[in-house]
Structures are given as C-alpha cells and as structure tokens.
A and B are shown apart, each in its own frame.
Chain A
Amino acid sequence: MMKNNELIDIIKAVLCEAAQREIDVDSKTSLLDARVIDSLTVLALVSGLEERFDIEFEDDDLDVDNFETIDTIAAMLTNRYL
C-alpha cells in the first residue's frame, strides 16, 4: 500500500503536468475555488492519473466532489482503485 504522502506528491506532480505550470497548493485547498483547474486541466488530470496508476475512472467518480482537493482525490484513489 502506498503511503498517503507519497500519493499526494504523485497527484501534485500529475496536476502540475496537467496544468503545464507549477502549482503550489496544499492538499486541502479547493482546486476549483482557487482557480487552479479549468476543463482542459481537469481532463488532463483525469487522464494523467489514469495513466500513472493504470486505472480507468468509473463515470460515477468523475465528479467535482472527488476532485475538490488533492486530499479528496487521494481518498478516492485509495478507496476505489489502489
């Protein structure tokens, strides 16, 4: 089982790659409220995570609640896919 802080670091790295810039947010910051992600970044983040973890998100998981913060993304991945 991957440690949570490792997972968070990976998600941050995938997020930066998706946004094509450095993003400095803590794991509890709302990504949408902080205007960190837009539609293109969301899609790039989803496909980046799918590729990184060799998974395919279920439709029901593609929801703003699950992608609200880095913590919620980590929780979803841990509970549902890893």
Chain B
Amino acid sequence: MEFRNVKLSEHEQVKDLYEDFYGPNYCEVERVFYTWLHHANPCRSLSASADEFTAFGAFQEGELLSCINYVPFKMVVQDHEYKSCWSVGWRVKDDRPGLAGFLLKRQIKNFDFYMSMGATQWVKSIYTTQFKFSYQHNIPRAIMVGNAVQTEEILRMNDTLILDDFGDIVQWADETRRAAEAGQYVFITDGSALNPQYWSDHRERVKATVSKEPAVLNWRYVSHPLMQYDIISTTSDQSAGIAVLRTEQSRDQDFRVVRLLEFLPTKNNEKALSAAVARYTLDKSAAFLDFFCGNDTFIQQHMPTPFIQQQDHQPYLFPRMFQPLEWRERYSINASFRQFAGGEAPSLKMNDVYFTKGDPSQDILLNREYVTKLL
C-alpha cells in the first residue's frame, strides 16, 4: 500500500470516493472548488508539491482507497511560523474499514499543529481518545444586534428559551444604531491591494494566530470560487484595518444575518472598525451579526460595543445555523486542536489561537443552493 498526497491527475478518483458516500454532484469535490481549496492555497507548498493536492491518500495499485482532505496553514506564534493543518474530511471505501486510522496516524505527525472544525462524535472520539486533542464544543461568539424586533421574533421561535424579557435586545440594537451613525465603510475589492498594517498589528495583539497575511485572505475570501464575501475598511487606504463579512439569507424565514469572518483592526482603531461593521449590518438589514472566534480573550479585549460578549448574549441562545434555523445543541460549532510541535515551540491552548469560523474553508455547509457567487 502506498501512502502519499493525491496527484492532480487523480482528481476523478477523489470525486468518486466522496460521491460514493455523499451522492453525485457533491460541491466539495468539484474540480473548480477542489482545485481552489487543495491546490491554489498559498500555503500548499508546506506539504504538497506543484503536481499534488493537499489530500493525503492510501493507494493500492494506483487505486485510491481512503483519503484525508486537509488545508495546510502557518500557525504564527510571535515571530515564528509552524507548519500546521486543518483536516476537512475523511473518506474510506466501504470495504476498507480501519484504513483511515492508518492514514491519520501517518499524516497527523507531519504537522506541528493539527486542527479541525465541525467534528462528528465519531471523529471527536478519535481525536480526543487516540491523539489527546483538546476539544471545544462551541467556539466563543460575539453578537451584534441589527434589528431588535426581528431578532426577538427569531429568538422566540426557540421553544427551550426561558427568558421572556428582551430589553437587552432593544438596548443592544440602540447601541448598534449609535455606533453606525459614526461609522463609515468602503469595499476593498482588490485582494492584492490589502494594506498589510492590519497583519503586523494583529500578530502583536494575539499570542498565536492562524496566518491571516494578505496573500491568505486574498485566496480565502476574494478568490473563493463559490461564495461572495465583502472586505471592508473605514477608508480606502485601510488605515483602520479590515473586516470580512458575508450576508446570509434564511431560506425558511424572512430574515437575514451578517456573518463576520475576520475582524482585523489596526492598533487603536477597534472602535472605528466596529462602527464600520455596525453600519454594514444595518445597511444589509440584518437581524443580527455573529462572529465565531476561538480566542475569547480577543473578543473581550478587542471587540468593543456594539459587539455583545458571550456571557451577555448566552442566555438568549442565539441560533448558530440558519439553513434551516437550528437550535439543537448537537449542531455545535466545535473545534479540535492538538499541538505536536516540541522543542522551542511555546505550549499553546486552543483558546490562545485566533481562528474563526472562516477557517479553514467553509463557514457554511457548501450545498449548491447556498452558493452566492455567480458562475
């Protein structure tokens, strides 16, 4: 048996392997998306050559039997960069149970940090029992309320909600409106023209971060083949830093939410960028905005009002998913994390790391009906 990265010429085998399970026309293995995610990634060369995808496979006589799709990235800790990866999905042929275990065991130690989001109970049990990953059931989240009436309507749909006083929601919407009055934003459409100041300030602000350097953001958000994201700043010179957002329209209900994927203000411009985000949220007529970030200290220290902190909005049980609207706890936005780097690498905990729901590739189930970019 041969264990190696999948070659570009073997894409059809990956497609067949995954579509066997997920059904035909599965977005995530379509060539355009797969090539973007597993080849165009500026960090690909950390673990794959120019003729390979970032997909680790087990082959027998040239036949792909099992595969781990992964997205390499640089974990930046102070001035050091560590070879890291997000796992984004395994498959194994039905008649080869157990093979994925060998594949994972071989692949995992090629990286200093290994992370995953959205693990099933099964994957979680493998990570935590066999590899001693730390696991967070729900990534911390900041909220911003845009429309109090709509937000209250949404929250009231949850039968398990005990609260009946929505005074906070009204107050939070007022705070958003006040911030937005002072806020302004421009769209940054040229991903190659990102002002890198946000990146140097961001590295000083956090103990560790998934790389958010301009080339990565340009790839991740501007060149995404299927989803439309907006990068905004307060002015065209981006002196206040940048935020990345998208708007999500509920398919079942008449409301929309803004999903904030990155919040990267420059030093002392947290408030100005928050005001820009508030303005954007109101302009999009969103009921509310949310932002999932693994580093709760970042949210507490660098996301001022009208962002609402986890401990304040927690009792209202804001839904995490909207397609369909979903309240059940088992639909968590979970993350798994393991450090393999020894030596001089500082010991990290998962909540030391700035990562967001925008990592590594998807912040939404990538069903075709949710594609927002015109093809």
Interface residues of A (CB under 8 A from B): 31-32, 35, 37-44, 46-47, 59, 62-65, 67
Contacts and interface: CB of A to CB of B under 8 A. Distances in A.
B106 A39 contact: no
B97 A47 contact: no
Interface of B: 1, 3, 92, 96-102, 104-106, 122, 125-126, 129-131
B92 A65 contact: no
A15 to B, nearest CB: 12
A62 B104 CA distance: 10
B106 A42 contact: no
Contacts of A63: 1, 102
Given A32-B97, A42-B101, A65 B1 contact: yes
A76 to B, nearest CB: 13
A40 B99 contact: no
Contact of B126 (A40, A59, A67): A40
B97 A39 contact: yes
A30 to B, nearest CB: 11
A1 to B, nearest CB: 28
A35 B126 CA distance: 18
A64 B106 CA distance: 13
Given A32-B99, A46-B101, 9 more contacts: A38-B101, A39-B100, A40-B122, A40-B125, A40-B129, A42-B102, A43-B105, A64-B96, A64-B98
Nearest to A63: B1
12 contacts: A32-B96, A32-B98, A38-B97, A38-B98, A40-B126, A40-B130, A42-B98, A43-B130, A44-B129, A59-B106, A63-B1, A64-B1
| Max chain A C-beta neighbours (<10 A), residue from B97, B98, B130 | B98
B91 to A, nearest CB: 11
A40 to B, nearest CB: 5
B97 A43 contact: no
A59 B97 CA distance: 19
Ranked nearest first, the 9 interchain pairs of A and B with the lowest CB-CB distance are: A42-B101, A39-B101, A43-B130, A39-B100, A42-B98, A43-B101, A38-B97, A37-B98, A62-B102
Contact of A37 (B1, B97, B129): B97
Contacts of A32: 96-99
Nearest to B130: A43
Contact of B130 (A44, A62, A64): A44
Given A47-B130, A59-B106, A62-B105, A39 B99 contact: yes
A47 B101 CA distance: 11
Contact of A40 (B3, B101, B106): B101
Nearest to A39: B101
Nearest to B109: A59
A10 to B, nearest CB: 20
A59 B126 CA distance: 19
A51 to B, nearest CB: 12
| Max chain B C-beta neighbours (<10 A), residue from A38, A42, A46, A59 | A42
Contacts of A59: 3, 106
A41 B97 CA distance: 10
